[in-house]
Amino acid sequence: MTAASPSPFSSLKGLRPFWQVTLASFLGWFLDAFDQTTLMFTLPDISHDLGCSISLLGGVLFGQSLGRAVGNTAWGWLADRYGRKPAFMLGIVWFALFSALTGLSHSLWMLMIVQFCFGVGFGGEWTASAALLMESVPATLRPIASAIMMSGYEIGYFAAAATQALLLPHYGWRLLFFIGLIPALLAIFIRIGVPESPLWLANHHKNTQYPKTRRRFSWSGAALQAIALMSFLEFQKAAIYTFYPTILRSNHHLSPQMIFWPITLYCLGSFLGKLLCGTLAERFGDERIMQAAIVIVMLSIWPFLCASSWSFLLISAFIMGAAASGVFALVPHYLAQRFPSDQRSFGMGLSYALGSIGQGLASKLIPVLGPTVATLPISAIALVLGSSAVSAGITTLKPRKLPKF
């Protein structure tokens, strides 16, 4: 990379002609996050109403991750075969429907089935929208476009935190999931205002004219690296924040209103961290920025979960958000570079699918290894440190050849 790189302002200005697809991808991930993190905020309440333990609800989270794996791969195939845009729209409507149905669950088994189906749409939406965005903007703008899209997760997380603080004590957990039906309206905006990927259109035309040019999926070194990184990075992510609201309520004895503040700082740090990582990656490359962020995660995980001082708890929440989420700002761009265009959505989806399974395993292992209130954060810390070390190691590998993109 050269020393001269675009400023954040010039990069954002360059994205103006692509504002529809950038906004749609951002909103898709924002709404995904709102619906998914609502479950994390309400775990203690659902546990009480359904008469089950937090450990059993870890099985629900694992079921959701399996659904995400199905959605990532299935939607990847759909997006490669029938277009990024229709797959994006279908994913939005799907996860909104099953988010609302979560609020009607009256047994652990029903909740598990509904959340599995929710995960299918959750994973599918990301797969299609990430490929659509990366193929719609110029190469020089892809890191910042990737960062903007992925910052939608933290804004959605923040919105869920604010909503639960306002509504959960008065109306219960079910209403929060009924709100999740609203995202279906985004499909209308995508249908009207977002164009299809020009790269997909070109490949579709070529495959229509010359059917024998369609290739089988290539298990290249670059593809295997993408899959391995996502497996451990998603595991790390789940170990960091899946039980964070529960730890704040159980170990730090915070009310739903009080946990709003550390989570707000986590989300603020995440938003700024993603934009910063996207900007720095234009100059220093994805891998260096990922490695720096992972090191900060390892240094911050103990105060993030266990700090006894309110001030340290808030400061570490901001730092952890900036580092742990900053890594994910670069994920769409990092993955997109490792698959050829006619296999890109499926490859990105497969990487995220196996990552989702890693996330589900972490969600299940944490309460198993730390079954009490005292041991839950210790279990999470150990898993974060191990998965972070492996993730950093994977980013140091250099594939022999990357597809043209």
Assess if residue 6 is contained within a domain.
Answer: no
Structure-token match 């939607």, residue found:
75
Q: Identify the pLDDT of residue 209.
A: 61
b/e map of 44-74 (b: 16 or more CB within 10 Å)? bbbbeebebebeebbbbbbbbbbbbbbbbbb
Assess if residue 375 is contained within a domain.
Answer: yes
Q: Which residue has the higher pLDDT, 203 or 215?
A: 203
Closest to 39 in 3D by CA, of 129, 149, 161: 161
Q: Which residue has the higher pLDDT, 143 or 46?
A: 46
Assess if residue 400 is contained within a domain.
Answer: no
Assess if residue 271 is contained within a domain.
Answer: yes
Residue 285 three-state SS: coil
Percent of the chain, pLDDT > 90?
34
Assess if residue 10 is contained within a domain.
Answer: no
Residue 180 three-state SS: helix
Assess if residue 401 is contained within a domain.
Answer: no
Q: Let me know if 400 is exposed, middle or buried by CB neighbors in 10 A (0-12, 13-18, 19+).
A: exposed
CB 99 within 8 A of CB 35: yes
Residue 61 sits in which domain range? 17-211+219-395
* Angstrom distance (rounded) from CA 298 to CA 387: 10
Assess if residue 386 is contained within a domain.
Answer: yes
Closest to 91 in 3D by CA, of 56, 130, 65: 130
CATH code for the domain in which residue 224 is found: 1.20.1250.20
The reported pTM is 0.73
Q: Identify the pLDDT of residue 217.
A: 66
DSSP code for 244: H
DSSP structure string for 322-388: HHHHHHHTTHHHHHHTTS-GGGHHHHHHHHHHHHHHHHHHHHHHHHHHS-STTTHHHHHHHHHHHHH
Q: Identify the pLDDT of residue 405.
A: 61
Q: Please give the tally of structural domains in the chain.
A: 1
CB 380 within 8 A of CB 370: yes
CB 154 within 8 A of CB 113: no
Amino acid sitting at position 400: R
Closest to 336 in 3D by CA, of 8, 31, 24, 80: 80
Percent of the chain, pLDDT > 70?
94
**Which range has highest mean pLDDT (5-9, 297-301, 331-335, 359-363)?**
297-301
Q: Identify the pLDDT of residue 310.
A: 93
Q: Identify the pLDDT of residue 2.
A: 42
Lowest-pLDDT range of 5-9, 188-192, 272-276, 390-394: 5-9
Assess if residue 171 is contained within a domain.
Answer: yes
* Angstrom distance (rounded) from CA 296 to CA 54: 29
Structure tokens at 331: 């994920």
* Angstrom distance (rounded) from CA 241 to CA 318: 13
Residue 195 three-state SS: coil
**Which range has highest mean pLDDT (34-48, 191-205, 380-394)?**
380-394
Per-residue pLDDT band for 164 (boundaries 50, 70, 90) equals: confident
How far CA 100 is from CA of 46, 177, 243, in Å, comes to 15, 5, 22
CB 11 within 8 A of CB 141: yes
Cα angle 208-21-161, degrees, rounded to a multiple of 5: 130
How far CA 164 is from CA of 147, 238, 246, 266, 309, in Å, comes to 26, 20, 13, 16, 24
